[in-house]
Structure 1
Amino acid sequence: MDCRLPLGRWLLVLLGLAYVEAFYIPGWSIKSYKENEPIPLMVNKVYSDNTQLQFAYYDLPFVCPPTGNRHAGSSLLSGESIPLNLGEVLRGDRITQSDIELVMGQDKECNVLCTRSVGRSDLKRANQMVKEGYVAEWIVDNLPGATSFVTVDKSRKYYAAGFKLGYTDIPLNGGAPKYYINNHLSIVIRHRQAPGKAGERGGRVIVGFEVYPKSIGPKSRTTSGCPSDIDNVDQQMELYYFPNSTDVSVQYPESSIRPPDTDDDIDDGATLDIPYSYSVYFREDDKIEWAHRWDLYFVNQEEGSRIHWLAIINSLIISGLLSSIVAMILARTIRGDIKSYKDSVAEDGKLRQKRRSHQSSGSRTPKQGEQAGGLLEQVGDTENDADVSSDEETLEDATGWKLLHGDVFRSPTGGNLLAPMIGSGMQLLFMAVGLLFLSSLGVLNPSFRGGFVSVGVGLFVFAGIFSGYFSTRVYKTFGGISWRKMALITAVLFPGLLFTLVFVLNLFVWAQASSTALPFGTLIGILFLWLCIQLPLVYVGSWYGYVRAGPWDHPTKTTTLPRQIPVVPWYIRGPQSALIAGLIPFAVIFIELLFVFQSMWQDKSGYYYVFGFLSVVSIILILSIAEVTIVTIYIKLSCEDYNWWWHSFFIGAGSSVWVFLYCVWYYFTKLHIEGFVSGLLFFSYSFMAVCVYGLLTGTVGFLTAYAFVRRIYGAIKAD
């Protein structure tokens, strides 16, 4: 039975996978709560779309600090951090136990948390963070606290993770803007009966965690600190204290005039008291299944499904056109070239045989005393001359790429650098395929916080064995003799550059006291993974690739002296050719890039999860790169230029230049990032991502071109 599927059926399978959109697979254990059972609430970090700097929530000087007390439902003390995986640390998470108390089924109209006295310098920082639109993330039962919204047609409800620290009010009369802190939080926990036996025993599961912030000033609170009327607030909590004023009654005037603070005012010791409180409400909601409780965070992304389909259709059209061109080259042009070459070789062989038979019939037996070898040697020389002239005639009849059979597999200049780059590209390719596969199946989902990064790092380290295998095998094919040196270069080159860049950036982030800064222990752990795990794996793969597998065999022999390369057209030269060819793969992915960038840089409170679409586009991207590389290398060889090794790599990586230019365009047109450090982080992260993308796609181009060249020159090899 033939198990092979036609191309059309494979496309249907892939499109079906895209429609699944990386469905959410629930966790292995469902946490249920009984009536009156305490529920721990964790605080994480604050972040903003206007900056790349994140901060731990409890590091803010204007929020209630942890008391250090132990609360029911948690084994941690208030302010104590929970263990984090590597992905959570790298993304800036700092999850700690809070002092907020939640009890299943028990509503609380008001709980006073604390009254925080804030000095002028801390007040200034609070104003700046409110101005930059910082959002806080709290967590209950692994769900991030969310602000609830409805769609434009009011048909569906969706969540935006996090809640704003405050808001800005710009007076209509043109006065200075006012900044208000959200110091009262209404927490809504949505729950339903737990599935299975836990539900029969009265267990409840949490299916929603909503936070509604409000700004309530002292005049709108009772003496106990609770809001007098949450629905009708007479006074908001403004983040301002008049200079040199000790009269609390003038802290909140109705005037919009706000004189600026001076240096003397900053040091005058004045403080502003900010009261904090919260309310808790439990609401039963049977419309949401526990397995689908994350869907509300993705409703807003589902509206772009038509554009995702447009991206796939666009990619299929471009790939289809490329496939037609490649098929024409392979089926007609190259096949015709090979056929004409073989016909000329066969005709030349017949002519050579006729010459030999004619020379043999005209020979005589030497007389006695005559040097027997003289005439025979002359006959032999005549035959050799006939062979040489015949070969020259055959080469003269050949044209284009067929003339390069003695030079096409000549080792490239800089092969010691190209080989480890190919190895690193295979390492990244394995990691990318593994991440897309697991994400498309739903194994890597938002409930696995930091899982995408953690699994990616694990796959990258494990793939070191593939990196060593391919780098040393390519290296030996180029004629290299020191495989241990090549193994060391492969293990150090790309990971070392990446680690150095991350370390330097970490210094800038650490100077800003941001939670994005990697702790020293994490840096040591990454260094251990690199030197103690990946490097030995690279060594093992290098040994197997060099000693056991050996070099790849080439169908033709390389001549001693290289041919002279004629002047090639401008469009086939290195930089121009790579940029022109890179436009086509970029056109395949640029629509989907918009959603990836929006998820990474704009909707940082949201989650990108349509990995099914991304997987299909990625497969089409790889096919497009392979086809573009085949066409470009064929044109290059037809121009009698045999320096295709590096060229094939740059053709595959050419689209990375356009991706980086797209990053620059996106930064200046779509983002509102402010500050030198934030801009440095954006362009540095973009550069690292583009390098990863370039190594991956360049490796695809190189391997495709290598297989293509071996195939066409193997077809013209004389039997």
Structure 2
Amino acid sequence: MVFVGKWNLVVLMLLLLVSTFATVVRSDASDHRYKSKDPVPLYANKVGPFQNPSETYRFFDLPFCSPAQVKEKKEALGEVLNGDRLVSSPYKLDFLVDKDSELVCKKQLTKEEVAQFRKAVAKDYYFQMYYDDLPVWGFLGKVEKEGKSDPSEYKYYLFKHLHFEISYNKDRVVEINARTDSNALVDITEDKGVDVDFMYSVKWIETNIPFEKRMEKYSQTSSLPHHLEIHWFSIINSCVTVLLLTGFLSTILMRVLKNDFVKYANDEETTDDQEETGWKYIHGDVFRYPKYKSLFAAALGCGSQLFILMVFIFILALVGVFYPYNRGALFTALVVIYALTSGIAGYTAASFYGQLEGTNWVRNLLLTGALFCGPLFLTFCFLNTVAIAYSATAALPFGTIVVIFLIWALVTSPLLVLGGIAGKNSQTEFQAPCRTTKYPREIPPLPWYRSTLPQMAMAGFLPFSAIYIELYYIFASVWGHRIYTIYSILFIVFIILLIVTAFITVALTYFELAAEDHEWWWRSFLCGGSTGLFIYGYCLYYYYARSDMSGFMQTSFFFGYMACICYGFFLMLGTVGFRAALFFVRHIYRSIKCE
């Protein structure tokens, strides 16, 4: 009954999430319908170095022309977490109103402002705006090197004219593009004040593209034939890995198990005095509870919650919630779903801790709540301090921090406690097919390659090899400007990752038991989660070999948040590995007579 009730709660949570995101993503102009000369909202968002996606600043941190009264757009939680800071812009792009060389403002740049713009142009700064919820980008200027190797001889130019081309279908905006006039330049090479006439022009073009498909152009790059070919190659590579692994297990492991079953059956029929060897020899120790069982149960609880979190994220992605440039929807989903699924962590940890005959369930719940949130909170405090020092938009406002704290205090923590109480009261016993002896057997000396670290390296390599091709596209979208939209392929890769993790953990657990090493509990968890360490190793390769990111802020954000993500994968895949190993161990010891 507890199980059924829990999944009813899960279904209810999913329905609430879908209805929530169906309303959160609407814009100010909710119907997106306009009449001729109606004002259409254009918001200036942020500026920053093109190669450093985390290092973004408010649009008017640079001395652009600003409207008489800058109004900030009210943003959702996910938008703030995404670093969006939308404010009103000085450009007036009224519906169906063409403009030719409209003056924004005449601005006299001081020496300091010129140096500020030159520094931004040298770092390849871009700007981002949103027009009727459609993204607009452009670069601030250009650098002319003219074959000169000395940077002091470079020429720096600022673009002063911006041309907007807007496509419409009847009474709706469908597409917008912004380009700069390469002939309208201001030389900002020298440290001296200059006068700049900032201009813009607008051209409206009728199109037959329906409003419902206006976001498709942003996802076309990820679904081009050559990209799809690489994605399918990734899946084929992963499937081959799965087939090889399952074939290995079916032809070798199952044959060995069959021989073991026959051998142990013959031993029981011939004599009871014959000395037992192999995994049957340790049947009195294999279900002995692990050390640090409170920590172990807490890790399983956190891993189970993160697994359910991933399932919900994929469900929302597959039903089309995370379309391109749906500002902050993913971050909102992560925060909301994590808060709502904290009861799963409490229930799993407390129930398993009770099965292991643990008594201090309050400490176990505290450990469960802090095991993942603790490192994430410390990392956030450090990185938010760095963002504040840089005056970047990645620094969360105080109000947003209060909202997140209230979500944790009023939703996450109570659900964790309620789940823990339900798990504590479930009163289930650990299902062990063999009785555990009073004193543990001594583990025989094992070769070095059977120790924990080499086993983790072997266990993490195969799952990582099944996903590493797809990792590049994920990294390029999270830490770059690519757009990832093929969630169906990503979901298949995720399923393959789970299968390979489970199978390789089962194989290594059998070899560990065959060597008469009965301390498999923590080993199976560590081996299953070791793929997270390989993913973090890939972070080093991606940062230094595949990206152009630089600077202390970008480096700290990349490695800091990727450490939290990889730690989450470690907990989740460790839980998957242990659950698979537990099912396998119970099965083989239930299949023989151990008493």
Q: Would the TM-score normalized by the shorter structure come out above 0.5?
A: yes
Q: Alpha-carbon deviations, 1:121-177, whole Å to 9, x = none? A: 3322222221222211111111101xxxxxxxxxxxxxxxx2111111112355611
Structure of greater Rg: 1
Secondary structure of residue in 2 paired with 1:37: coil
Match of residue 212 from structure 1: 179
Which residue does the alignment assign to 2:48?
47
Task: List aligned pairs for 1:84-233, cutoff 5 A.
Answer: 84-145=75-136, 162-172=137-147, 176-193=153-170, 204-214=171-181, 233=183
2:58 is aligned to 56
Distance 2:104 2:26 in 1: 33
Q: Do the aligned residues in 2 keep the contact of 1:488 with 1:539 (CA within 8 Å)?
A: no
In the alignment, is residue 292 of structure 1 matched against residue 213 of structure 2?
A: yes
Tell me the alpha carbon deviations over residues 62-85 of structure 1, each in whole angstroms, 9 at most, x when there is no partner.
2112311xxxxxxxxxx2122212
| Equivalent AA in structure 2 for residue 279 of structure 1 | S
Q: CA deviation at 1:693?
A: 1.4
Q: 1:674 to 1:338 in 2, by over 3 A?
A: same
Residue deviations 1:536-577, cap 9 Å, x none?
111111111122243432111111110010112322210111
Give 2:231's aligned residue.
308
Cα displacement (A) at 1:347:
4.5
Selected match of 1:653 from 529, 538, 544: 529
- Look up the equivalent residue of 1:95 and give its one-letter code: L
Distance in 1 (CA, whole Å) between partners of 2:532 and 2:383 is 22
Q: Per the alignment, do residues 334 and 183 of structure 1 end up closer, same or farther by CA in structure 2, a change over 3 Å counting?
A: same
Counterpart Cα distance in 2 of 1:450 and 1:104: 27
Q: Does residue 499 of structure 1 match 2:372?
A: no
Distance 2:513 2:108 in 1: 75
**1:77-476 correspondence runs (5 A):** 79-145=70-136, 162-172=137-147, 176-193=153-170, 204-214=171-181, 233=183, 236-242=185-191, 271-286=193-208, 288-303=209-224, 304-329=227-252, 331-348=254-271, 390=272, 393-394=273-274, 396=275, 398-476=276-354
Once residues 400 and 517 of structure 1 are traced to their aligned partners in structure 2, the CA distance between those partners, rounded to angstroms, is 57
> Residues of 2 paired with 1:626 and 1:322: CA distance?
11
Cα displacement string for residues 559-605 of structure 1 (whole angstroms, at most 9, x for unaligned residues): 111001011232221011101221100100000001111112232xx
C-alpha contact 2:160 2:185 (8 A) present in aligned 1: no
Q: How far 1:676 moved relative to its partner?
A: 1.8
CA deviations on 1:271-306 (whole Å, 9 max, x unpaired) are 3333211101110011x2222212222222223110
Name which of structure 1's ranges 670-679 and 275-284 shifts more when overlaid on structure 2: 670-679
**1:6-45 equivalences in 2 (<5 Å):** 30-45=31-46
In the TM superposition, residue 525 of structure 1 has moved relative to its aligned partner by 1.6
Do the aligned partners of 2:528 and 2:574 also contact (CA within 8 Å) in 1? yes
Give the Cα–Cα distance (whole angstroms) in 2 for the partners of residues 627 and 47 of structure 1: 45
Q: In structure 2, do the counterparts of structure 1 residues 315 and 549 end up closer, same or farther at CA, with 3 Å as the change threshold?
A: farther
Among 505, 508, 516, the residue aligned to 2:394: 516
Q: Aligned-residue CA RMSD in angstroms?
A: 1.9
Shift of 1:477: 2.5
Q: 1:551 to 1:583 in 2, by over 3 A?
A: same
Asked if 2 retains the 8 angstrom alpha-carbon contact of 1:241 and 1:272, the reply is no
- Whichever residue aligns with residue 102 of structure 2, its letter is N
The separation in 2 between residues aligned to 1:623 and 1:173, in whole angstroms, is: 55
Gap runs ≥5 in structure 2: 1-24
Change (3 A) 1:652 1:33: same
What is the Cα deviation at residue 619 of structure 1?
Answer: 0.2
Residue 464 of structure 2: which of 566, 586, 594 is its match?
Answer: 586
CA distance in 2 between partners of 1:211 and 1:602 (Å) = 20
Greater CA drift, 130-139 or 578-587: 130-139
SS of aligned partner of 2:51? coil
Match of 1:361 in 2: none
Letter in 1 for 2:261: I
Length-normalised TM-score, structure 2 = 0.91
**TM-score normalised to structure 1 length:** 0.76
Gaps of 5+ in 1: 1-25, 69-78, 146-161, 194-203, 216-232, 243-269, 349-389
Query: 1:693-717, CA deviations, whole angstroms, 9 ceiling, x for partnerless residues?
Result: 1111111111111111111112224
